[in-house]
Amino acid sequence: MPIVLTSCGVINEDFKEKFFALFSKPVEDLRMLYITTAADGESGDKSWVGEEYQRILALGFRPENIIEYKIGASLDNLNDYDLIYVLGGNTFYLMKMIHESGFETQLREAIDRGIVYVGSSAGSVIMGTTLEPAAVYGDELIEGVDSKGLGFVDAAVIPHMNQKSDVYEDWMQTWNGKTFILYDGDGMII
C-alpha cells in the first residue's frame, strides 16, 4: 500500500531516489492518472498548476503517459495505471467530489492492489484523519463537507509548513492526534 505524501510534488533530490525505487520499470514507461479536481475548487491565479505539471515532466514522465482525470467523470480501469497523482487545490472541494462520486472505494481498491498514490498538498491532506489543516491553511470551506479525512494514514497531514508555520503551530497545540508535517519540496512514503 504505497502512499506518497508531498507538499508540492516530488522535488527533493534525495526523495526522488526513494520515490523511483517504488516502481519496477523506468519512469518513462510509467502510466499516471493525474487528478486535477482540487484545482477546480480554487479561484484566482492558478499558475502553480502548470508549474507542478512541469515538475512532473522534469522527473521523466512522458506526457502521453499522463492521463488527466476529473473525479466524477467516467473512468475505465484504475489497473491501467502505475500511479495515481492527486494535485492540490481546495481540499474541501476535492473531498466533496470524492464523496459525491464514490471515488473513495475505487481509490482504496487501487491502493490495496499496490498502485502508488501520490498526494500533493490537498491530495496529501485528504489521506489523513482530518481536513482541519486545510482550513487552517485557508482553503474555503464547502457546505456539507465535514472535517473528516479518508484515514488512509493515521495522522493529520500538514503541507506547506514553511509557509504557514505560525498558524499551524497554534492549531497543533489544540490537536490531540498524530501529525505528519511536510515542507515544500519534502515528501514521505507510507
E strand spans, 42-161: 66-69, 83-86, 116-120, 156-158
**pTM beyond cutoff 0.75:** yes
125 band by pLDDT with thresholds 50, 70 and 90: very high
The pLDDT > 70 percentage for the chain reads 99
Q: What integer pLDDT is reported at residue 1 of this predicted model?
A: 67
Distance CA 190, CA 177 (A): 17
For CA atoms 92, 104, 66, 111, the dihedral sign is positive
Residues 137-150: pLDDT tens digits?
888 888 889 999 99
Mean pLDDT of the chain: 93
Give which of 69, 175, 61, 182 is closest to 121, Cα–Cα: 182
**Three cell numbers at 55?**
515538475
The number of residues making up the chain comes to 190
According to DSSP, the residues that pair with 83 across neighbouring strands are 32, 116
Asked whether residue 75 carries a pLDDT value surpassing 90, the answer given is no
In this structure, what DSSP letter does residue 119 have? Answer: E
pLDDT tens digit sequence for 86-105: 999 999 999 999 999 999 99
Domains of the chain: 3-119+184-189 (3.40.50.880)
Q: Residue 181: how many CB atoms within 10 A of its CB?
A: 19
13 confidence band (pLDDT: 50, 70, 90) = confident
> CA 173 to CA 168: how far, in whole Å?
9
Please indicate whether residue 125 or residue 165 has the higher confidence score (pLDDT): 125
